[in-house]
Each structure stands twice: as C-alpha cells, then as structure tokens.
Structure 1
Amino acid sequence: MATTAVKAKTGSMKAQHIVSRVLIYALLIIVAALMLIPFLWMLSASFKMNKDVFTFPIEWIPSNPRPQNYVDIWTKIPLLTFIKNTAFLTIVVTILQVLTSSFAAYAFAKLNFKGKNVLFLGYIATIAVPWQAYMVPQFMMMRSWHLNNTHLAIICLQAFSAFGVFMMKQFYEGVPTELCEAARIDGLSEYGIYARIMLPLSLPAVSTLVIFTFVNTWNDFLGPLIYLTKTELKTIQIGLRMFISQYSAEYGLIMAASVIALIPVLIVFLSLQKYFVQGVASSGLKG
C-alpha cells in the first residue's frame, strides 16, 4: 500500500510538472507572438499600396503585392548614403567600444592599483546619469573643438561605455586568476595576457557587447539629430524621419524603408545569438 501511494504521489507530481511546463511554454509562445505581430504587419505593409495598408481586417498576405516599393525607396531619398553613414559609424563605434571596454575591464578585474575600486565605482555611477542631463555641455564641447557636423563627434562620444566595462569585468572575474599568474611567470606581459588569453576566452561576453553596441548605435536617433545637419552625413534613422516628413502618406514606402533598416540588426543578432545567451548568463556569475 505504501509503495502504491508513493508511486501515485510521484505520478501526480510529474503530471503537475508537465502541466506547469506546458502552461509556461504556451504563455511564452503567446508573448512572443504578440511581440512579433508589429514586425509581421510592417513586412506585410511594405508590399502593399498606400490604400491597402490600413484595411481591416488585416490582409497579412497581400493579394496584389507591390515589390516596387523596395525599388522606389532608393530613388525617393538618398537611402544608400544614409545606410553607408550608419554602417560606418556603427562598425567604428562597435570596434572601439569592444576594445576600450574589454581593456579597461581587464585592468579593473585582474590588476591591483591604488584607487581601483573608487575609480571603478565612479565610472560605473555614470550609468545612472541620463544622457539628456549632459548632452548640452557635450554639444558645446564638440562645437568648441569644431567637431559638430562631423562623424567624428559621434565616434568620440560613443567610443566608451561604462555598461560595457561593467559587463566585461563581471566576465573576467570568472576567469581563474591563477591563469594570469601562470602567464606572468612564463614572461608574458599584461598586454600579452589580455590579447592572447583574456580576450579569446571572453568571446561570449564580447558577442553580447557587440550586439548591444551595434543595435544602440544603428538605432541612435538623438545623437545624429543633434550633431549632423548635412544630408550627406545623416544616418538611416534621421533619413527615415526626413522621408516621413516629406512623404507622410507613402505608408508602403515608409514600411519598406523600415524593413531595410531592420535587416542589418537581424543579421548581427542571428549571427551572434548563440554567444549572446552564453554571455548574458556568464557575465553575471563569478567562478
């Protein structure tokens, strides 16, 4: 009797566990579907004529698709120029942030020097200060250096990231210190330890930082809006805003341009998603 009761209780617990997992997965699927609906609607609308974009009920698969929208958008505005400018700024800023963040994080995580904790705390505290609080002094500083209306102003302001330093430091602290000490005994310099040991081991964290930096820089609107006024210097987000102000009724073209602007972000995320999950998990843990 006791054995039968135990088996019945175990079976009941397994059934409850299965039901709870099914409910959790069902909830996650519903939430994911709700998040994807706007993007699916945008993709569908990009193949429609203007009069068909807001028809109800929504025609998810257009009966008369208009792929010409993806051709016309390149002639309505200098979209290729905007994409080139955005790609240049995004790639340069991403490379610089990865280098500066990983290098500073190595010093904070594995080196001992006077005032390290105070300096790190002061640097990380800047995360709590919103950019809108100091964007005017920054603009005045860039203007005094004659860098306004240049891409260099955006690069200088975004080449460093306190969040990137914090995330990389958390990952580096999970690397055994004995590994660095053994490398020093073998005669490897601190630069060599960083380049040949720490950086290769931090691929998950670097991939996570690349995704965050790439997405933030590619989608940045306020920075280019403040510093870039010439058309030939503007980024894709400013270009889309300019197109909307000029062709406010061309909804099909607006959606086509939005889809084009989204493609590079999707490519980068899908390429690095495997390392992204590892980086998010490991950057919050200490070995």
Structure 2
Amino acid sequence: MVKRVLVNLILTAVCLFVWLPLLLIAGNALMSEGEMLERFGALFGVGNSPVKAVFLPEYPTLRPFVELLLDSPGFYVMFWNSCLQTGAVLGGQLLAALPAAWAFAHFGFRGRKALFFLYIILMIQPFQVTMVPGYLVLKQMRLLNTHLAVILPGIFSAFPVFIMAKFFESIPRPLIEAARLDGAGEFSIFARVGIPVGKPGIVSVIVLGFLESWNAIEQPMTFLKERRLWPLSLYLPEITSDKAGVAWAASVIMMMLPVILFVMGTESLEQGIAASGIKE
C-alpha cells in the first residue's frame, strides 16, 4: 500500500513538472502589457527587478488574443501554411507508407531484410545529416521555396513505414489465410483486413506525424526563404519583445491542435508503439 502511494506521488510530481510550462504559457497569454513588463521586464531589458512568474495574472485580459486574431494577418497566413503542409504530409505518408509497410510485413522478396534495414538507418538519421543532399535534390528539381520542398521529404519519411510494418506483422496469420481461402486477392486483404485491423497503428502514425510536421522548424527554415510560405512554427520566433503577449497567445493556439489530437489518439498511440516494439 505504501509503495503504491509513493509511486502515485512520484508520477503526480512528474506530471505536474511536465504540465508546469504549459500552465505558465496559458496564464501569461491572459496578462496585460503593463503586468508583463512588471513581471518579466528584466528579460526584455527593462529594469532589473526579478522575474515573477505566476499561473494566473492579477488582472486577466483577452487583449493579446484580440490583437493576435484581429490585428495580425500574418498569423492566419502562417496558420494556413501549417495546415496545408501538415495535412499534405500526413495524407502522402498514408498513401506511401501503408502499402510499403504491408509489403515488408507479408511479402517475401529478395533483399527484403536489407531494404528494411536501410529504412531503419534512414529513420535514425537526423535532419542535419540529410540537409545538404536534400537541399541539392530539391534545388535540382526546382522545388526550393515552394510548399513541396517541405511536403515531399515528409511524405517519404521512413518512420511511418517502420511503425506500420511492425504493426502489420502482428496481425494473426490465420486471419489472412482465411481471407485468401474466401477468394480475396492481395489488395482486397490489405484493404479489408490490414487497414481495419491496423487502425491503432494508423492512428499512431497520424499523431506522431502530425506532431513532427506541425512543430517542424529546421526544414521550413532551410527550404523556404519567403515569409509567405512559412508555417506557424516560424511565426513565434519573429515576434518582437514588445509583442510578448501576442507570442504567448499564439503559443496557446499553436498547442491546441497537437494537444487535442494527442489526447484523442493516446490509446491507439500506445497500441501502435507497443506493436512496433519500441520501448522508452
């Protein structure tokens, strides 16, 4: 009993530590400009008073949100860019990764293990390693400074293939053999057995892919030179210190979609990661 209580206390403390920055952001987004300078003036080079962080300001106001949503047209442009780029990446990943993962899981062909090992190598490579080759390829294809410069590399990411291949391998063989005995072809088995049974893995791919694309900074910063093409992840660093309240408000709005999607897909995400054999 004591051990269980101790574990619960430790887990609660860890959860509070994780949620602490989010609660501070939400509280600061409701802070007026005057209170912002009073509490964080030292960070902006105004005065030497110590920083006084709070979860809820003394006089909450929605002015930062009003200024962001009504007086910041650039926010909507970058928000749309984020939606366009992330949506296209996720749709492309599903079209490219699901058939590839099914082939790795259920088709036997020469070089299958070597090719899958290559996928794993590509998956663990950081962006900095592939940045220069990717830049040269996109330049040769004349896709730099277009949405496709961010979308195409994301579509052919190796991580969704790895997740779904492991999940498809966990589908019971008797279920697939029963479908073959009923006269189903390979595509029919994939569409009517693989995709429905693999739904938790597909949801996990969508959630993880969304988080990666929505929060991407290095890729758009490298491949997109014009501000009109920038996603929302590049909007926040451009906000000056005198618009700190707007920055907090933009941070809250930017976090809403990932948090909602993550909460809705937590159960499927756990099943997908467990099936893929990934352990923290």
Counterpart CA distance in 2 for 1:87 and 1:282 is 29
2:147 equivalent to 1:151: yes
Deviations 1:253-278 (A, max 9, x none): 11111111111111211221232222
- Runs of 5+ unmatched residues, structure 2: 41-50
Moved more, 28-37 or 69-78: 69-78
Query: Cα offset for 1:99?
Result: 2.8
Aligned residue for 2:142, secondary structure, equals: coil
Query: Cα offset for 1:163?
Result: 1.9
Residue matched to 1:264: 257
Residue matched to 1:62: 57
**Consecutive aligned runs of 4 or more in structure 1 exceeding 6 Å deviation:** none
Residue number among 151, 171, 175 corresponding to 2:171 in the alignment = 175
Moved more, 48-57 or 114-123: 48-57
Residue matched to 2:118: 122
2:264 equivalent to 1:281: no
Counterpart CA distance in 1 for 2:56 and 2:157 is 43
Contact 1:110 1:177 (C-alpha < 8 Å) held by counterparts: no
Q: In percent, how many aligned pairs have the same letter? A: 31
Residue matched to 2:234: 238
Aligned residue for 2:241, secondary structure, equals: coil
RMSD: 1.7
- Cα gap change, 1:57/1:241 in structure 2, threshold over 3 Å: closer, same or farther? closer
Contact 1:86 1:218 (C-alpha < 8 Å) held by counterparts: yes
The letter for the 1-side match of 2:270 is V
Residue matched to 1:30: 13
Aligned residue for 1:253, secondary structure, equals: helix
Residue matched to 2:94: 98
Residue matched to 1:192: 188
Aligned residues: 265
Deviations 1:218-254 (A, max 9, x none): 00011111111222211001122222xxx22322111
Deviations 1:134-192 (A, max 9, x none): 21121111111110111011111110222221211111111112222222232222111
Query: Cα offset for 1:77?
Result: 5.0
Greater Cα radius of gyration, structure 1 or 2: 1
Moved more, 215-224 or 140-149: 140-149
- Cα gap change, 1:242/1:19 in structure 2, threshold over 3 Å: closer, same or farther? same
The letter for the 2-side match of 1:25 is N
The letter for the 1-side match of 2:27 is S
* TM norm structure 1: 0.87
- Map 1:136-147 onto structure 2 (within 5 A): 136-147=132-143
Residue matched to 1:107: 103
The letter for the 2-side match of 1:199 is I
Residue matched to 1:42: 25
Contact 2:28 2:56 (C-alpha < 8 Å) held by counterparts: no
- Runs of 5+ unmatched residues, structure 1: 1-17
Query: Cα offset for 1:104?
Result: 1.1
Query: Cα offset for 1:212?
Result: 0.5
Query: Cα offset for 1:126?
Result: 1.4
